[in-house]
Amino acid sequence: MDDSLKSVFSESTLSASGIRTLVEALPQLDASRRDYAANETILQEGELNDCLVILMEGRARLIKDDEKGRPLVVDTFGPGALLGLTSFWGKTEVFASVQADTDLVCVSIDRVLFDSLTSENPDFVRAVQGLFVRNLSDRYRNMVRAQVAREKLSAQLEQERNHLRDALKRLEETTNRMVNQEKLATMGQLLAGIAHEINNPVGALLRGIESAKEALEHAFDANGKDSLEYTLLSEGWNCPYWSPEEKRARMSSALSDFPQLGRPLARRVAQLTDAAYNLLRKPIKKNAKELDRLLSVYELGVCFRAVRLSGGRIGKIITSLRNYGKQGGSESEECDLSEGIRDTLTVLNNRLKRYELKLDLAQLPPLSCNLGEINQVWTNLLANAMDATEEGGEICVSASVEGDDILVCIEDSGTGIDPSKLEKVFEANFTTKNSSGSFGLGLGLSISRDIVEKHGGTLRASNRSGGGARFEARFPLGR
């Protein structure tokens, strides 16, 4: 054996030029050369492998099918690589296919040739061992690099997933707020339509009752404006509200003055004003039928008054609804916050009547704001106060000027707020209502703070010294 080949065989690993020298020095290997065109399969996954392939020129790729049968390139090989080493040595099926990435030249050593060379030429064994060591080392390094790359990719994917999670959360918050704003806008439109539809018949009702009163006054006027009927109708129209206790006391007094009345008539006489009572002293004594007629005239005035007051009450509620539902978009107008609070209290009256409401609204200067949005803040704060307070509890609403700010406070005598959560309650989707048996989306306070800050103000939460929660909304004057 010449010195150059001995030099090749003595290397612990073989270079590409050393492999060419080795193949050229052994006629058996040189006879086993084989050319492959690009994309041609050298080893097929799943088939038994009986050859050890040495790549001499070109580049090959290792291909593994994924769970859906799609081919994935998992590694590439250059000159000097041993292809099919594991399956050849272990006499097993090929784990992954090998394809020519470019035109390439290989030496294919079948098992008979391999056994012959290793038994006849110990130096060849040393050369092959060097190739084995080199290929195994290369594969180990590739495996380590792949593991490092995978960990790095996993970290990047985790970071991207966190970014996507945060983005999704922000998107959900934005969507919820948009839905809520859309609901508010729709509610404003509905309230305006309902108020308009109710306002017309209420106006007709009030005009009709006024006309009926004037017609009766005109009929009674035939006997002069000083007639008893005219006076009794006017007294009934202007009669005060008598509480049940006052009615019982007045009934007892009437029965004491006129024992012959009987309880049914005494109950009717108890509703008379003092002036009407004095006017009817003579009819009470003389004639029960005449008394019944005159009481009916008075009660007619009382009925007219009740209709007038009820119609006026409906009209006030309609006005409050229309003011409450105002949606001015981004436009602002000079508004009285006290009136907005009163409108909100009117809208929520059905629930608020179960609580002891303390109201302290000072005369406030006008504030440039979107009244519909500000009213939504009062609604959210009052609804939260009622949810946190047992029926019969106390809810306090105050408004005043403090320095250069308008200060509105809404307090309750409920359970208060965990001190560690005084700021957290303003976060979107944070709610404590689910744990207390009621349901909440956790958007009310978040939206309320956004609205207040949009108007240049601040919204803060604290606990009352005597128990319960306190929310302060400040709005700068002259914004």
For the ranges 155-169, 218-232, 233-247, 266-280, the lowest mean pLDDT is seen at: 218-232
Query: In CATH, what number does 3-120 get?
Result: 2.60.120.10
Question: Running DSSP on this structure, what letter comes out for residue 403?
Answer: T
Which tens digit of pLDDT belongs to each residue from 358-405? Answer: 999 988 999 988 887 888 889 889 988 998 899 999 999 999 999 999
Q: How far apart are the first and last CA of the chain?
A: 100
> In which element (H, E) is residue 384 found?
helix 371-388
Task: Indicate if the pLDDT at residue 440 is higher than 60.
Answer: no
**228-237 vs 288-324: helix axis angle to the nearest 10?**
30
For the ranges 101-105, 129-133, 141-145, 221-225, the lowest mean pLDDT is seen at: 221-225
Question: Running DSSP on this structure, what letter comes out for residue 241?
Answer: P
Amino acid at 73: V
Per-domain residue ranges of the chain: 3-120, 326-476
In angstroms, what is the C-alpha Rg of the chain? Answer: 48
Over residues 435-452, the mean pLDDT reads 66
Confidence of residue 60 (pLDDT cuts 50, 70, 90): very high
* Residue 129: closest CA among 8, 13, 32: 13
Task: Indicate if the pLDDT at residue 479 is higher than 80.
Answer: no
Task: Indicate if the pLDDT at residue 331 is higher than 70.
Answer: no
Which tens digit of pLDDT belongs to each residue from 110-166? Answer: 888 888 887 877 767 777 776 677 767 776 777 787 788 888 888 888 888 888 888
Can you read off the two tokens belonging to residue 7?
Answer: 């030099």
DSSP per-residue codes, 338-351: HHHHHHHHHHTHHH
Over residues 54-68, the mean pLDDT reads 86
Do residues 205 and 311 touch, judged by C-beta distance below 8 A?
yes
Q: Which long-range contacts (CB under 8 A, 24 or more apart) does 347-354 make?
A: 347/320, 347/321, 347/379, 348/379, 348/382, 348/383, 348/386, 351/386, 352/382, 352/386, 352/395, 354/386, 354/391, 354/392
Do residues 220 and 237 touch, judged by C-beta distance below 8 A?
no
Query: In CATH, what number does 326-476 get?
Result: 3.30.565.10
